[in-house]
């Protein structure tokens, strides 16, 4: 399985059948999102290295080095930066 490194701090295993956003959630993180459909840009982050595959149509504006984790999956080991997320608080 591919590894996803987030903000050079956290590394999680990718789930090949899930988007990056879903994979982050399954790993116990709460990434920023709104539409989950490539429209709003709330989940936008920088692709530092690796390759992703889009499974939806990106409507939100992205720079050349930016991706929308809600509609893409990891094709290789991936490092993303400027991702906004929190770790889930434990009860
Ligand atoms: S959550 Fe809206 S573009 Fe990703």
- The residue whose CB lies within 8 Å of the most ligand 1 atoms, and thus the one to mutate among 60, 61, 67, 85, is 60
pLDDT-based confidence at 1, cuts 50/70/90? Answer: confident
Q: Where are the beta strands (DSSP E) in the chain?
A: 3-6, 10-13, 29-31, 45-49, 52-54, 66-67, 72-74, 78-81, 85-87
Burial of 45 (0-12, 13-18, 19+ CB in 10 A): buried
79 touches ligand 1 (CB under 6 Å): no
- Is the predicted pLDDT of residue 76 greater than 90, yes or no? yes
Find the 81 Cα to ligand 1 centroid distance in Å. 16
80 touches ligand 1 (CB under 6 Å): no
Residues 10-61: tens digit of each pLDDT: 999 999 999 999 999 999 999 999 999 999 999 999 999 999 999 999 999 9
31 touches ligand 1 (CB under 6 Å): no
58 touches ligand 1 (CB under 6 Å): no
pLDDT at 89: 65
Residue 43 in tokens: 């989940």
């Amino acid at each position: 399985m591919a590894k996803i490194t987030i903000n050079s701090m956290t590394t999680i295993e990718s789930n090949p059948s899930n988007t990056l956003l879903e994979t982050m959630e399954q790993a116990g993180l709460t990434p920023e999102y709104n539409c989950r459909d490539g429209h709003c840009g709330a989940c936008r982050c920088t692709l530092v290295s690796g390759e992703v595959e889009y499974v939806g149509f990106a409507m939100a504006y992205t720079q050349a080095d930016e991706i929308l984790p809600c509609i893409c999956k990891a094709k290789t080991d991936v490092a993303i930066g400027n991702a906004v997320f929190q770790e889930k608080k434990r009860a």
